[in-house]
Structure 1
Amino acid sequence: MRALGRILTFTRSLTPSYLVIVAASVFTSAAALATPFITGALTNTIVENMRTGAPVSDSVHAVVLGMLAYLGIGLASIAATAIGGLVGDVMSERMRAMLSTRYFDHLLRLPQSYFDEELTGTVVSRLDRSIVTITEFAKVFANQFLSTLITTGAILVILAVYAWPIAVLLALIVPVYIWLTSLTSRRWQRLENRKNEQVDLARGRFAEVIGQIRVVASFVQGPREANRFDERFTSVVTTSVSQSRHWHGMDALRNVVLTTVFATMLGIVFVMTAQGNLSLGDLVVLVQLLAMAVTPVMMMSWFIDASQRAVAGSRDYFEVMSLPPDPALERADDASDEPLEPVPGAPAVEFSGVTFHYEGGADAVRDVSFTVGVGERVALVSESGGGKSTLISLLLGLYEPTEGEILLFGRPIETLSRATLRRAIGVVFQEPQLFSGTVAENIGYAESEPDLERIAVAAARANVTEFVERLPDGFDTIIGERGLKLSGGQRQRVAVARAAFKDAPVLVLDEATSALDTRSERLVQEGLDELMVGRSSLIVAHRLSTIASVDRIVTLRDGTVDEIGAPAALAVSGGLYEELLTLQRSGTKADRKRLKDHGLRL
């Protein structure tokens, strides 16, 4: 119950709904309990009238009054049930919305390392499985179980007044039944966690395969992926067989004990009536009360089953919610609009003694120091895995340096909110990473209500207008998930236009043309050249030809700075850049292979 209590605490803003549901449940329980007493009173009246020889009309009159009371209570109970059900349904949906939005908001605040280790499908599966399980249980509990539990408790009190031995038996059987169920639930929980793990892995792979369906199809791996998916769910079925056999076997044992005890209680009622300790009306009342009590107690296993699923779901949910957010987002309000105030004379970007390693790994970069002056174009060159993308991730605040510091216009980035930092940096990634909306929505993504004229200007600067005019709906054309309705070059030009629309003073180009054909590269490069005018640019390139016109080059070897200088100077310095240029100019097959091994292209 601690997990369920945690859910209630987490959703305490729904307290008014909870109170209405409790009030409706109490009323419907009281109405249900009134029925046996009306029936018992009528029984006693009719028996007494028959014994004394009273007119039949007296009995008829009593019956009419009893039926009117029954009708009035029944109608009021129907109204209370409807109100409670309505509030319960709305409450569960509000709970789902609340838990979902908080989950999503928390995910957006987690450090990048979390997403590096989790499959996207697994993250989505938790949202689906955990939250739906919790809210469905809350809905059923509100609409059914709460009134049942209240009714059972009231029956126990009433039985204690009429026949204490029966009340004692009922008071004993409930905790015994729960104890027997708890013996079952430990193994059930272990098996349920095993099932959840397999389902999350299956859904994670499902999302991954669907997102890369072209690769799966082109490599003819559909059957293999389907078999893997089937294996996951076959494992779930196998676990469910063991889980169900264990649960229902124990459930049968519990119900045998329960049936025996209720048979004993009925026997006691009839014996006490035969002995004259209970009237015939009392007999009717107690038999109906016992009939009302046996159903909820026998449903206890189903209730506990549902609650265990909710507990298992809440455990996964709160496991994610308990993860610490990105420390940088904790230090400053990420929604802040604080302006970036440059330090006079400071470079646009400065790396000072920066060292960083991913969790559990060796240093990815060590003691890196260089600057990007205001309006300067600086290129990062290294072999594959040399630390270029790591430096970009550090600049964007996706990770924090292990040692050293990074300054933006003279301000240490750890003193800036992440919103302020990232608003000052425009990025064009190697993968365009577009959304499934329209061309205009993707270009204007930096603002919630983008100006259409600015979108058109940005599109023109990035050579987007050239192909947008041929689309069926122009800028309002839906481009599909990840922009799959566009070609690779068109997607990249939209990404360049997105950065142009953002109009940030610092521009980061992370291998923005490495995956394009020659024509697409030329069109994208034209857009990039236009975009870099007047901006401080940090460029990561796989093609050395794309950085021939930069102001300076920083070469990295094994995560450390090898050389810094103008392209012309480094071309004859005998360092890494000259070595790579020599390989690029060579026409031999061996040298082309060596260049490829360095992670570069001609």
Structure 2
Amino acid sequence: MTVLIRILKFTRSLAPYYAGIMVAAVIVTVAGLAVPFITGRATDVISAAVSGAADGTGGSPDPVQSTIVSVILLAVALLVISLIEAGVGNVGGYWGDVMSAKMRTILSTRYFEQLLALPQRYYDNELTGTIVARLNRSISEVTNFMKSFSNMFVTLILTTIAVLAISAWYYWPLAVLLAIAYPVYLWLTALTSRRWQQLEGDKNVHVDVASGRFAEVVGQMRVVKSFASERRELSAFSTRFQATETLTAEQSKHWHRMDALRQGVLHAIFFGLYTIIFVRTVLGFFSLGEMVMLVQLMSMARQPVTSLSWVVDTAQRAIAGSKSYFEVMDLDPSVVDGGGSRPVHAGRAPGPAIAFQGVHFGYDDDADVLSDVTFEVAPGERVAFVGESGGGKTTLTNLLMGLYGARSGSIRVAGTGEDLESLRRDIGVVFQEPALFSGTVAENIAYGRPDATREEIEEAARSAAVDVFVQKFEHGYDTVIGERGVKLSGGQKQRIAVARAMLKDAPILVLDEATSALDTKSERLVQAGLETLMEGRTTLIIAHRLSTIAEVDRIVTLRDGRIDEIGTPAELAASGGIYAELLALQASPSRSDRKRLRELDVVG
């Protein structure tokens, strides 16, 4: 019931649909309840006519004609009721379908909104495929339940109350037996449900993990095939689903064992009900019509009881599914984030464009990755960061963009915004691995400025040398590039990423060395675009190629998460520090020196 209440609160805008579905259900239920009375009345009319004909009192044509008219009118009444049931029932079904679709939209949108609000830390610990699988499974189960519940709930309740009242009116022991059947069946169902839900939750874990890995493998199929890992991935995938087979067998055995007990109790109670009705008819307490009417009512009474099994089954799936859904919805982004200080805008007054002051940072409960980092970057200055792999270079840029919070210290960025969103608008990023989407070339270039004109998009593309290869495509800038730009080469993807940053035209630029993975020709083209992009902008460069460091204004070297040196390339070349070591290693023909250069995450 708690889950149902939460879902109703989440989807309160659908209240008119819930009300309409329930009104339709009321009409259908009342119409259905009229059928036993009409059938019973027809039975009595026909029985009286047959009895009169048998004893010679009904031989005149008038009573026969009157009986025929009566039964035809009763048949017409049944037709009208059937048409009402069919018409209103289908209207209710239509409302149910629309309500279900709208509920899926609401729940999916809320889920996506929550995912967008969650910090980067959440995605560091979750598989993308698992997140997607959780959305599909959870919302499908919840919407299916709510659609069924809204259609059936009123019908079950009204039918139960009406049958109990009518049975009590004709003979109170019938109502007593029915009143025993409902709670006993519910109690046995509750006993069944507890174990069933636990097993369902275990199954969901296996399915979510398998689905997450499935999505990951499909997205990295080139790697899987390159390492001949198809069989290993298939084995791990099938093992997960084989585990669900075992759980399903246990779950089904438990369910059907308990269902056999429930059905046995139910059949015993209805045996008593039918026996009472038949015996009292023989004794003359009930007419044949009343007997037929009561038997039909008992059949109607059986439906709510047996329907409980199906309702409980879908409810259990909804509860188990919504548990995963609400686990995500209940996450507090600030708690998941782990707190810490975020960058703040420092206004447009004269001063540094970027200032780190005593910044400490570490992941979760691990030791500090960065310790007491302090530096400033002047407006329009180009600063490169150099250090060993894992030394904290990329972490600095993540902190600058507010993807994580610093444990202590402060980060100030020139600008007038009041939140992280406005701060991120002031920063353009070109990642080492270009992150593209599955749309067109034009859509990817305009991702940071979706309102850009086609002329602006193509101008940025020309500056980044994107037009060199796009003009060879049949559909030009409207070419769909596939998931993560799979149809493009590494150089082509990187040039689109540079064009995207150019079009955004942010005052601060972060380059997580955009050319380190490119061939010489592509590097020259991309580097030319980057030179244009860096003009007049404050630029931070994560350096992997020494060739991109020589033209910067200053270099910051990092050692073990601490700033080791800050100075111009010329100053650091003579200081004997990390940068000087890199230059010496680059000039050395020794294989061991080349190996050391790679260890420092730098190439010549």
Matched residue SS, 1:405:
strand
User: Any residues of structure 2 matched to 1:484-495 within 5 Å, and which?
Assistant: 484-495=486-497
Distance (Å, rounded) in 2 between the aligned partners of 1:183 and 1:408? 60
Q: Is 1:9 the counterpart of 2:9 in the alignment?
A: yes
Query: 1:155 Cα shift?
Result: 1.6
* Aligned-partner Cα distance in 1 for 2:364–2:169: 66
Which region of structure 1 is more displaced relative to structure 2, 275-284 or 490-499? 275-284
Output the amino acid matched with 1:4: L
Verify: 1:19 aligned to 2:19, yes or no: yes
**Deviation string for 1:224-266 (max 9, x for gaps)?**
1111111111111111111111111111111011111111111
Q: Which amino acid aligns with 1:23?
A: V
The offset of 1:322, in angstroms, is: 0.7
Instruction: Give SS of 1:367's match.
Output: strand
In structure 2, what residue type is equivalent to 1:382?
G
Residue deviations 1:329-364 (CA, integer Å, cap 9, x gap): 9x9xxxxxxx97833112111111111111121111
Equivalent residues of 2:385, 2:558 under 8 A apart: yes
Partner of 1:357: 362
The alpha-carbon distance between structure 1 residues 328 and 450, as it changes in their structure 2 partners (threshold 3 A), is: farther
Aligned to 1:335: none
Contact 1:437 1:478 in 2 (8 A): yes
Return the alpha-carbon distance in structure 2 between the equivalents of residues 298 and 566 of structure 1. 81
Alignment partner of 1:231 is 2:233? no
Say which of 382, 387, 411 aligns to 1:382.
Answer: 387
Q: Give the equivalent residue in structure 1 for 2:414.
A: 409
User: Which segment is superposed worse, 49-58 or 119-128?
Assistant: 49-58
How far residue 511 of structure 1 moved from its aligned partner, in angstroms, is: 2.4
**Which consecutive residues of structure 1, in runs of 5 or more, have no partner in the other structure?**
332-338
Alignment of 1:68-467 (within 5 A): 68-144=76-152, 146-326=154-334, 342-409=347-414, 416-467=418-469
Cα contact 2:386–2:543 (8 A) shared by 1: yes
Is there any run of 5+ residues in structure 2 with no aligned partner, and where?
Answer: none
AA paired with 2:350? Answer: G
Q: CA shift at 1:140, angstroms?
A: 2.8
Question: Can you list the C-alpha shifts for 1:158-185, whole angstroms capped at 9, x where unaligned?
Answer: 2222222111111121111111111111
2:32 corresponds to: 32
| Residue 98 of structure 1: how far off its partner (Å) | 1.0
Asked if the contact 1:109–1:326 (Cα under 8 Å) also holds between the matched residues in 2, the reply is: no
Q: Deviations over 1:104-124 (max 9, x none)?
A: 111011011110000000000
More displaced 10-residue stretch of structure 1: 48-57 or 183-192:
48-57
Q: 1:326 to 1:490 in 2, by over 3 A?
A: farther
Letter matched to residue 323 of structure 2: R
Report the 3-state secondary structure (helix = DSSP H, G, I; strand = E; otherwise coil) of the residue aligned with 1:118: coil
Deviation for aligned residue 1:461? 1.2
Kindly provide the CA deviation profile for residues 135-160 of structure 1, in whole angstroms up to 9, marking residues without a partner as x. 12222334455424432332222222
Q: Classify the secondary structure of the residue corresponding to 2:410.
A: strand
Percent sequence identity over aligned pairs: 55
Give secondary structure in 1 for the equivalent of 2:236: helix
Q: Deviations over 1:485-524 (max 9, x none)?
A: 1110110000000000000000000122222222222221
SS of residue in 1 equivalent to 2:602: coil
> Any idea what SS the aligned residue of 1:151 has?
helix
Measure how far apart 1:61 and its partner are.
2.0
1:427 aligned counterpart, secondary structure = strand
Separation in structure 1 between the aligned mates of residue 464 and residue 158 of structure 2, nearest angstrom? 68
Secondary structure of the equivalent of 2:563? Answer: strand
Stretch of structure 1 that moved more, 311-320 or 140-149: 140-149
Structure 1 Cα separation of the partners of residues 206 and 336 of structure 2: 34
One-letter amino acid of the structure 2 residue matched with residue 133 of structure 1? E
CA distance in 2, matches of 1:117, 1:105: 19
| Matched position secondary structure for 2:373 | strand
1:50 shift after superposition: 5.4
CA contact (8 A) 2:207 2:241 kept: yes
Between the aligned partners of 2:525 and 2:501, the Cα distance in structure 1 is 16
Distance in 2 between residues matched to 1:67 and 1:76, nearest whole Å: 14
Note the C-alpha offset of 1:474.
1.3
> Hey, what's the Cα distance between the residues in 1 that align with 2:451 and 2:140?
32
Inter-partner Cα distance in structure 2 for 1:44 and 1:469: 87
| Structure 1 residue 51, shift from structure 2 partner | 5.7
Moved more, 520-529 or 133-142: 133-142
Contact 1:84–1:142 under 8 Å retained in 2: no
How far apart are residue 365 of structure 1 and its match? 0.8
CA–CA distance in 2 between the matches of 1:46 and 1:469? 87
Measure, in 2, the Cα distance between the counterparts of 1:146 and 1:402. Answer: 55
Instruction: Give the C-alpha shift of residue 555 in structure 1.
Output: 1.0
Alpha-carbon distance between aligned partners in 1 of 2:301 and 2:42, rounded to the nearest angstrom: 22
Is the alpha carbon distance of 1:149 and 1:105 closer, same or farther for their aligned partners in structure 2, counting shifts above 3 Å? Answer: same
Instruction: Give the structure-1-normalised TM-score.
Output: 0.95
- Offset at 1:43? 2.4
SS at structure 1 position matched to 2:455:
helix
Cα gap change, 1:567/1:40 in structure 2, threshold over 3 Å: closer, same or farther?
Answer: same
Per the TM alignment, residue 29 of structure 1 is displaced from its structure 2 partner at its CA by 0.5
Most deviating of 44-53 and 202-211: 44-53
Counterparts of 1:322 and 1:158, CA distance in 2: 47
1:496 aligns with one of 495, 498, 502: 498
